[in-house]
Amino acid sequence: MTAPARRLPPAAATTAPATLPPAGLPGLDPAWSRLVTAEDSGGVTRTWHLLDNAPALDDGAPVRGTILAVHGNPTWSYLWRRLLGPAADAGWRVVAVDQLDMGWSERTGVARTLPQRVRDLGNLTDALGLDGPVVTLGHDWGGVVSLGWAVDHPDQLAGVTLLNTAIHQPDDAAVPAPLRLALASGVLGRGTVTTPAFLETTLALGHPALGRDVKDAYRAPYRTADRRGGIGAFVADIPLGPTHPSHAELERIADGVSALGAAGVPALLQWGPRDPVFRDRYLHDLAHRLPGAQVHRHEGAGHLVAEDVDVVSPLLGWLDAFLPAPDAAGPSPTSGSPSNQPADSSERSPLWAQLQERRDDGSVALVEMTAGAGGGPRAVSWRLLSRRVEEIAAGLSRFGVQAGDRVSLLVPPSADLTAVLYACVRIGAVVVVADAGLGVGGMTRAVRGAQADVVVGALPGLAAARVLGWPGRRVSVTDLAPASAQALKVEASLADLAEDGRSVLAGGGALPPEPRPDAEAAVLFTSGSTGPAKGVVYTHAQLEAVVRTLGERYDVGPGTGLVAGFAPFALLGPALGARSVTPDMDVSAPRTLTARAVAAAAAEVDATVVFLSPAALANVVATQGQLTSDDREALDRVRLFLSAGAPVAPALLAGAQRLMPHASAHTPYGMTEGLLMTDVTLEQIEAEAPDSPAAGPGGVLVGEPVASVTVRISPLDDDGAATGEPADVRGVTGEVVVSAPHLKDHYDRLWLTDRAAVRDTAADAPAARGADERWHRTGDVGHLDHDDRLWVEGRLSHVIVTGDGVVTPVGPEQRVDALDGVRRSGVVGVGPRGTQQLVAVVEPEEHRPRVRRGPLARARLADADLASRVRAAVGLPVAAVLVVPTLPTDIRHNSKVDRAALAAWAEQVLAGGRLGAP
């Protein structure tokens, strides 16, 4: 792309001396401001304004280093005002510069280019005598300038930290629309210099909106056109093509950043995903160049991420973790480290091992129940599946997919999905799985956040990717007409890849080397039932440990027929060596599954094991009257039944066991971060009454930890927070903390979330486990009984703190659910924490159909009899008992009561809002 010469208004050439900012700007201590002289890149002495917290540092205390902070366009060093005080307390000097022609620094009258700005900054730090260690911090185009300084000063550099910025524009990606508009002929000068339009547009990007006083502080140095010349010059200096004067410098910096990454320079990237300019593709590029970087996407934040969220605490936490003070050990890095790998690598069996071992086996590997126009189920042999996986793997490699590349799979459960998934893991590509149950918004956040290099999809997924602008080259599961392929930007089909792969293999080509055990294998997105969905990263070794744990616990392996109404188990079937089938259902709507569909699937694989989600199970039990004698005969052969993903009522499990009378009914406890932590049978649940001593304050019995899993409890304090050290305690309610070889490695690009979810209990861990073992904070609250069994009492975020103490919701809900006429309930707290009032919301047995106004519409106060019985069952003061036709549930599982939505609605009702409105 060629960048034409752009002329700025005469005001851009105006000169003016540097000045100090006026007093009274919110959050800015005048003691931090100073003026410094230094030669610019042309040898002319210039005066800079900068913020410097050196006066706030303790006299005599050692300074850990300097944070060199560089703002972008059109902000100034005011952007970093929240950092200076806390950094001084932590022993770090902060030097936050106003770049020349910006903020309160000198107006030079020169339209400065990127090479000049990088040299300007270097000359300034020389004048200041900054000799290291230095950590750079940059935002917007200040990020590029700060990285230029980092590349040029490797001996002084200790680390790089960035907010939204970019150092490379992909050839196949359009320049962001706001920049195209700002650079348009006839717009540049008027939009950036003559008028404050560019400045005002930037200040409007706050999430939430910036206060008027903060906006005025940002406006202060740019009140007149002759003060805004640097804003226009900065925009004009955006290098859109190789002929631009700054393009070569940008390429030099980009290459230098890659070299910093290869050298292992510590890095922290904090990002606002709602930025209309610096989108996730630029974060992806930076993360690729800095592979050891800690990355956190602040959900909901945008371009002005430093204003939208707290970026200071994460920065200081990162400094403590990766650049600790000389006299402090500092916590170990918690993201991306293989600390949960199985200790004995000799146990390793790659996920594709069964496919290799059974490549000549003509017996059934999997069955598709919805085979399409051909009608009827379609069986796929181990031989065919193994060959197909190898062909697609070779084809993907020829297509350009390399180890570490991300491949997003937008394919419903099928032989195609199985084949492409195993092909990806075989060549070391990282599969990204975000199912349609997340909804369009959740899927968009997931796919954009993961920044897939390739998208493999069926037609609905490809259409969504095209319309919503999801990243990645496109591969279609089926062959498309040329016009459709062009419209969807599809470059190849799976058949094309398989054909290319056959040619490669037939010509003597080989698959790439097998990936390392500690290499990333998959990013699996959580349900998002208690917040935005998170990408959970598993390594190959951790997924292999999942397979091994499932196989050993439930004796699933070669010879097992597996009906998987839960996508992860369908995909793990080939790794377990089991014949697997997914019933005919809409996987994004589990309640569509019927008893007949389960029986038909069971008959196809002679099933001995059935796994269903609780939402699917409810409809299966409800439709059992449709079963034929042949259907019941197929279900009679099942020996093991599993249901997990949400709490399963004993009555529902009992109903399933009546359908499968010879099966042992189990309900494992786990999460996306650890698919199997504990296990309990229906018989064990029925043997324990909800009010037994073991139940303590109530809860769901989820059983004893499975082999290799350790469970600890972090006790709750009086405010309902899990502040206690995780410990092996009995009968104490707290957050459930788990450790296992098959636990996830880390959250994808959510470094802060990962830090919060990890507890170091090495001193408490058995000696047989590694001293560097990490533990996962599940977010669930519960307790261990005296038989080492775990009882779950709810989510930590749903704990209620009344004036009488802490209340966990599951126990009261269980007692209300046991009442005649109650289908299920939700118990929530309203009001200020510490004085919250309990509200019980009941869904009656006489279930009414969902109405268009939402699940909480047509609510009513409970009648006197029901209210009295509910209050007696809860056993605590209850401010109100409400009745709704249908309780709100999470979008993915369709079975967990959405207590957060329920609490917000109940708060409105008790505050005088209309009862029938959600």
**Which tens digit of pLDDT belongs to each residue from 178-233?**
666 666 656 677 889 999 999 999 999 999 999 999 999 999 999 999 999 999 99
Give φ, ψ of 857 to 5 degrees: -70, 160
pLDDT of residue 781: 97
Q: Which residues pair with 565 in a beta bridge?
A: 612
pLDDT of residue 60: 73
In CATH, which superfamily holds the domain spanning 668-741+756-796?
A: Luciferase; Domain 3 (2.30.38.10)
DSSP states along 130-193:
--S-EEEEE-THHHHHHHHHHHH-TTTEEEEEESS--S---TTSPPPHHHHHHHSTTTHHIIII
Q: Are both 15-173+245-322 and 350-540 of the same fold?
A: yes
Cβ(67)–Cβ(94) under 8 Å? yes
**CA 623/CA 673 separation, integer angstroms:** 32
Distances (CA, A) of 754 to 137, 297, 316, 528, 778: 22, 12, 16, 15, 11
pLDDT of residue 470: 85
Which tokens sit at 36? 């410094």
Which tokens sit at 801? 């703190």
Give φ, ψ of 843 to 5 degrees: -105, 115
CATH of region 800-910: 3.30.300.30
CATH topology for 350-540 is: Rossmann fold (3.40.50)
Strands 734-739, 710-715: pairing is antiparallel
Residue ranges of domains in the chain: 15-173+245-322, 350-540, 668-741+756-796, 800-910
pLDDT of residue 181: 65
For the segment 573-582, what is each residue's pLDDT rounded down to a tens digit?
999 999 999 8
User: One-letter amino acid identity for 700?
Assistant: V
DSSP 559: T
Cβ(469)–Cβ(279) under 8 Å? no
Q: List, in order, residues 6 or more apart from 798 with CB less than 8 Å away.
A: 808, 809, 828, 899, 900, 903
Report the 3 state secondary structure along 198-246.
HHHHHHCCCCCCCCHHHHHHHHHHHCCHHHCHHHHHHHHCCCCCCCCCC
Q: Which residues pair with 33 in a beta bridge?
A: 51
CATH of region 15-173+245-322: 3.40.50.1820
**H helices within 494-539, ranges in order?**
494-506
Give φ, ψ of 42 to 5 degrees: -100, 5
pLDDT of residue 842: 95
**H helices within 614-733, ranges in order?**
614-622, 629-636, 650-659, 682-686
Q: Is the pTM of the predicted complex or chain greater than 0.85?
A: yes
pLDDT of residue 434: 82
Cis check: omega of the bond before 133, within 30 degrees of 0: yes
Helix, strand, coil percent content, the chain, rounded in steps of 5: 35, 20, 40
pLDDT of residue 633: 96
Point out the residues of the chain with pLDDT beneath 50.
1-5, 330-345, 373, 761-772, 849-853, 891-894, 917-918
pLDDT of residue 681: 95
Cβ(149)–Cβ(141) under 8 Å? no
